[in-house]
Amino acid sequence: MRSPSVSLLCAALPALAAMQPAAGQDAGRGELLYEQRCSACHSLDADRTGPHHRGVFGRRAGSASGFAYSPALRRATIVWDRDTLDAWLANPEALIPGQRMGYSVDNATDRADIIAYLRQVPPLGNGSQTGKQR
């Protein structure tokens, strides 16, 4: 028979594991990867070849005001969260056929780090604007 302490520890292990960041959720590394891989087409606050990314979490795909999305993205009904962003970055065409992003991130750790960075980006402050071409 196990002691109560061992049983309590076994019961608590899943909760403790959930508190630890999963592999590949380094927002600092994600910021560097974002600058290296994403900033040619995207920025946090300005639409470029691709739409701005500030506030992407919880936003419906194809809905950032003022950006000229492909018809496929305008019709999309997904909402950006960790899982949908991971699927998008891994293979945009598989997630939303007919989209126009010709880039993917094959490495799962790199995707997780970029997503962790985007998730921790603060929302806009008063008087700030996003979406204008830069």
What is this structure's pTM?
Answer: 0.77
**What is the secondary structure of 39-92 as a DSSP string?**
TTT--SSS-SSS---TT-TTPBTT-STT----HHHHH---B-SHHHHHHHHH-H
The answer to whether residue 129 scores a pLDDT higher than 70 is no
pLDDT of residue 127: 45
Asked whether the beta carbons of 69 and 62 are under 8 A apart, the reply is yes
The dotted CATH code for 24-120 is 1.10.760.10
Where do we find the tokens 């999963």? 22
Q: Where along the chain do its domains lie?
A: 24-120
Tokens of 113: 């780090």
Cβ-in-10-Å burial (0-12, 13-18, 19+) of 12 comes to: exposed
* 9-55 confidence digits (pLDDT tens): 445 444 444 444 456 799 999 999 999 999 999 999 999 999 999 99
